[in-house]
Amino acid sequence: MSKTILKIQLTLISLLISLNSYTQKPNIILICPEGTGKDIMENHQLWTNKPLTTNINSLREKSFSFNNAFINVSDYQSALQSILSGRYPQNNGSWASDLIEDSISTIPKILKKNNFICSYVGSSIYISEFSAYSWDNIIDEKNINWKIKMNEIIKQSKSADKSFFMLYCPKLENKKGSITTKDVKIPLFMPQLDELKENIAQYCNSISYIDKKTGELISALKNSSKAENTIIIFASASSYPFPFATQNCYPHSNRISLFIKLPATTKTAKTDNKHFVSGIDIMPTINEILQIKTAVPTDGKSLLPLIKGKNENNRDAVYTLFNGTKSGRSYAMRSIHTAEFVYIVNLWANWQNKYKADDLQDGIMEKIIRNSLGNDKLMKLIKFYQTRTTEELYIYPEDKDALKNEIKNNKYAPNTYKMKMKLLEKMKTYKDPYSIEYKKRFIE
């Protein structure tokens, strides 16, 4: 056994002993920002030469990170509801940004039954007053003073002799900042147009603002009496607001930054580079850490064994999906992600349907279309984006930007078949209503 694994196990033993020693359980802060894909959080150099996430990186360095982490659906509200219920959209009622079913158990519902005060901090347009969550506090993030608000939440929980759970959902909003078009690069998965640098600069300033507000939250907690008894979980809950990212099933659609800081975690960062995990694993993780026994069904599995250094052979892939937009357009997509390949099936794709996302940054698609006049390569890309093909296969990580579809390459035919079967297995396991149609059209 390596010294690193032994140290992690001793840390977890220390945490569990502390849980058994006190009647009051640790507090939980779950941070789920909008529009924050993996690269912008962990490899900002791909976007800009200026630092973006200093505060979040500082927190990550004291946490256990998962290098292969995914959101289950690339839509902010649906992803949040999957995280909070531990279930895929087809199993929690949030089919395409629909409200989660009231009968579904969620993290705040379970924690309230276990002596927690539960607070939501974020934009009112997202998860707030839905009865499936039963928040004790709904707090608008606009102009929030974290020092004052943190003290209020702590005082409330102390007065009630309860622990607190806080969901912080910083919204991606257009913010002015110091980053200009001279400071940014256009990621390879996007059309390489200089005009888009304005959009990238605006986006980077918005990410910098999310980092600033997250830093204020962490600072307020650090200066309180609860810092040593609070678990912090950071999970990006949606991807970049750009074409070939948001509301799709590409690598940049689903790969996220996910890390967990336990109260007793050592200051050295730990990273799991092997196992594939996703947002639905967060709810069972919280339950196991807090030693909450519940019969509530979930689609996810606790991450605690991985934090302890255990190996799990069945964590070699993640199945992701997208059903449709908030405006009611149906675009059934399914994908399976592994360490070597990404296979995507677009059940909606035909020449009659045209794809149009809801969550794109304002005006970006219009810019791309305007620049396509007289540019055959760009016109071909736009046509592909809007009509797609029924199947896609990308080599990972060599082609993490999904630039070359290898579905017709006979060299990868055996791999394609394995990916298809793996996707079918996942769809059946998680009761995907499209599993029968998928099998008939693409396997039989």
- pLDDT score for 96: 85
- pLDDT score for 100: 85
- pLDDT score for 350: 79
- DSSP symbol at 99: P
CA distance 441 to 444: 7
pTM, entire model: 0.93
- Higher-pLDDT residue of 301 and 357 is 301
Provide the token pair at 72. 């289950």
pLDDT bin (cut points 50, 70, 90) of residue 4 is low
pLDDT bin (cut points 50, 70, 90) of residue 7 is low
Q: Mean pLDDT, to the nearest integer, of 44-53?
A: 94
E strands, 302-351, are: 318-324, 330-337, 341-346
| R_g of the chain computed on alpha carbons | 22
pLDDT of 307 above 80: yes
pLDDT tens across 149-198, in order?
999 999 999 999 999 999 999 999 888 899 999 999 999 999 999 999 99
**Structural domain spans, the chain:** 3-312, 319-442
pLDDT of 12 above 80: no
Counts for the chain of helices (H) and strands (E), in that order = 15, 12
Q: What are the start-end ranges of the H helices in 113-159?
A: 146-159
- pLDDT score for 360: 84
CB contact burial 91-122 (16+ within 10 A = b; e otherwise): bbbbebbbebeeebbbbbbbbbebebbbbbbb
- pLDDT score for 154: 95
pLDDT of 265 above 60: no
pLDDT of 143 above 60: yes
Q: Is the bond preceding 397 in cis, omega lying within 30 degrees of 0?
A: yes
Pairing of strands 391-395, 341-346: antiparallel
Q: Give residue 142's Cα distance to chain centre.
A: 22
pLDDT tens across 320-356, in order?
999 998 888 899 999 999 999 999 999 999 767 789 8
pLDDT of 21 above 50: no
pLDDT of 107 above 90: yes
pLDDT of 87 above 90: yes
Backbone phi, psi, residue 412, to 5°: -105, 15
CATH code of domain 3-312: 3.40.720.10
Q: Mean pLDDT, to the nearest integer, of 403-428?
A: 98
pLDDT of 18 above 50: no
CA distance 246 to 365: 13
Average pLDDT score, the chain:
91
